Amino acid sequence: MLSLAAIGLHAQAPWDKGGFETQKYRNLFVEMGYNPMAVERKLQEVFNDVFNGPNKVYFEVGDTLGYISDIKNHDVRTEGMSYGMMIAVQLDKKDIFDRLWRWSKKYMQHQSGTREGYFAWSLKTDGTPNSQGAASDGELYFITALIFASNRWGDDTGINYKAEAQHILNCTMPKEYEPERGGFGGFGGFGGQQQSGPQKMFLIDPETMLITFTPDGFGQRYTDPSYHIPAFYEVWARWADDGRSDYWQECARKSREFLHKAIDEKTGLNPDMCQYDGTELQMPRFPGRPPGQAQGQQGQPQPPRRNGSSNFRYDSWRVPMNIALDYEWSCADKEWQRQYGERIQNFFYSQGVDSFVDQYRVDGTLPEGNEILQAGGFRKLRHSIGLVATTAAASMMCSHEKSKEFVKALWEAKHEPFEDGYFDAYYDGLLRLFAFMHLSGHYRVIFPKCYLQTGQMPMREAYGSTFWTSPQKEWNWPPVQEYDKQAYKVEQDGNTLVLTSDVSQKLGFRIKKAFSTDTKSEAITVTYTIINESGKEKQVAPWEITRVLNEGLIFFDAPAEQVTPAGIIPFKTAFKAAWYTTDVANDNRKINADGKGWLAYLDKGLLMVKKFDDLKPNQPAPDEAEIQVYVNRGKTYIELESQGAYTKLAPGESLSWTVKWYLMPYNGEAAPSKQLLKTVRKLIK
């Protein structure tokens, strides 16, 4: 429709920030000169091919159910069902999403027993299982799609999407099981290779924090590079609300590190499966479940030969598009991802944009004989549209001119049968649709509808301020839900906004937060009240936690030598105060200090100061302090924390504690200075 010369008039400029931060997305088709209306029509056409056309793979059952089928293999797979749900939530197709989820829950998801919460990876179209075991990528997509559905449509329209996602997450935590005779399952476990005695089942390998190929059996000993989508873990960290945000952030980091190791430095190709350290899989050929092949005979390893599972083949196609997604949403590994995008496109360009084949050894040579993985009864190398699609999606990361040719090739490609009759409406069709969603800016992070973003914090749980009771050892982790996450009753008392919590079932306290403005000092006044609703005397301290970006300057009135533990966060003494210029580390860090009733933060010309009671050394709760600073691992967020006095409360008694928040512009440098200290002291006087 458009000449390459015309496309070339539009230079590409990859973005430096992802959708988590900007909530903006590129329409690369339009950037390259395609008509915006033509792009939307093309996307709808590709969607209709998959869901409505004569070669559709989506089928409705009755009034409430629907499934996506791998037509050539006559089955329904968690891969396709979870992909369909992700497509539906991205394109706001609630009826399709709900039908797919209901079918998945009714027929695929185990509702009890050892596999509770997991999904049987392959079923007949009537819901009869072909295998009971799970394929880990299905759970990965189910969870993320359900969280997005909760964010987009809420949880009160017939399906509690958030609760369903949390249930899967909780069930995928490591748990013990007794292996079944001949191997526990997965899809295609190896008989006789299981260890005797209790085993552990897990979606994420506890040692490496990397996703398993299957959560049980032999498949949990290795991974599949195409299952690695770090940005999905960031979605879980922000909105799963399962108390594991730090853990999911670390999984994202580990997954990005793994991809560096698993991908060939010269060709950009990756193996179909590999060890957790990225090296070649050392085992007999696994019969497996390639997208184009029906289930092999379970429990029967193939004769030893060149390990085709170490080749770039069907599953491997997804990796360029997955890395592009992480780049679009997170940009956390942008330099490497840009290099990777151009590296893999350079390889396929060398093979011919219109002629590269769909399977290679990772060194770029061609596989031979039975090393070529069959699909749909054919064992043949092809120029498959599924791989055309994912190499085009990699253009999101690229700035070289070659990327335009890959996009043009996808735009012009026809999804139709090959001369020998082979046609894959399912896998090729879904990857083609995903690629068009990426390149048209329709594959996005879906934020909650009522989500007010007042900053650019990387984690939902790291926004704004919250309130806990101290000491932490009374409740450990996660924070008490009634105080931290559950809804408060909201009332207005004159010019004061009063928020009242439910009584904590664990601690017996009720919390009130009263917000008002102090026009004289130009501050926001927050008064916290802790009410002992239990039937016995209790001792407690108030604790305010304010989250800010990991950037800028933090300081308070105390010598750095009194900050404990010493050296864990690099506070320095200047002008008799402690100062910390934010930094990055791979570990969570927290300090305690006895200040003089204030804590300040300066970033991008804005000065924030919190003023509270100055405690004597014996007043804080055990193992706590008047001032605390917590720095989350990586460049994520920081908590500025202050606590009040540890107080005994008889049944029915309460304590109140007030914090004042000040915010003002400051034109000086974000560095220790007498002027900055003077400004703070004048502000809070």
The residues annotated as belonging to the active site are 79, 315
> Which positions ≥6 away from 409 have C-beta within 8 Å?
353, 354, 388, 392
User: How many degrees, rounded to 5, is the angle at CA 337 between CA 44 and CA 351?
Assistant: 75
The CA distance from 667 to 107, in Å, is 62
Q: Are 670 and 602 a contacting pair, CB within 8 Å? A: yes
CA–CA dist 216, 177 (Å, integer):
9
C-alpha to C-alpha distance for 651 and 130, rounded to whole angstroms: 60
**Continuous H helices in 117-272:** 136-153, 161-171, 230-239, 245-262
Is residue 80 packed enough to be buried (19+ CB in 10 Å), middle (13-18) or exposed (0-12)? buried
Strand, helix or coil for residue 92 = coil
Tokens of 175: 């748990």
Of 147, 136, 141, nearest in space to 238 by CA: 147
Give the helix ranges, DSSP H, for 172-298: 230-239, 245-262
Distance CA 313, CA 451 (A): 41
Burial of 113 (0-12, 13-18, 19+ CB in 10 A): exposed
The Cα–Cα gap between 390 and 270 comes to 14
Backbone phi and psi for residue 109, each to the nearest 5 degrees, phi listed first:
-80, 130
Neighbours of 91 (CB within 10 A): 17
Judge whether 576 and 559 are in contact, CB under 8 Å: yes
Q: The tokens of 383 are what?
A: 């120029």
Instruction: Using CA atoms of 631, 166, 328, 458 in order, give the dihedral in degrees to the nearest 10.
Output: -20
- CA geometry: angle 493, 496, 499, nearest 5 deg: 85
Q: What is the DSSP string of 522-536?
A: TEEEEEEEEEE-SSS
d(C-alpha 245, C-alpha 462), whole Å: 10
- For 194, left (φ over 0), alpha (ψ -120 to 50), or beta? beta
CA atoms within 13 A on the CB side of 479: 17
Q: How far is it, in rounded angstroms, from Cα 396 to Cα 323?
A: 10
Helix (H) or strand (E) holding 611: strand 606-611
Q: Which helix (H) or strand (E) holds 181?
A: none
Are 194 and 177 contacting, i.e. CB atoms less than 8 angstroms apart? no
Which tokens belong to 405? 């040719």
Q: Within 10 A of 175 (CB to CB), how many other CB atoms are there?
A: 17
Give the type of residue at 90: Q
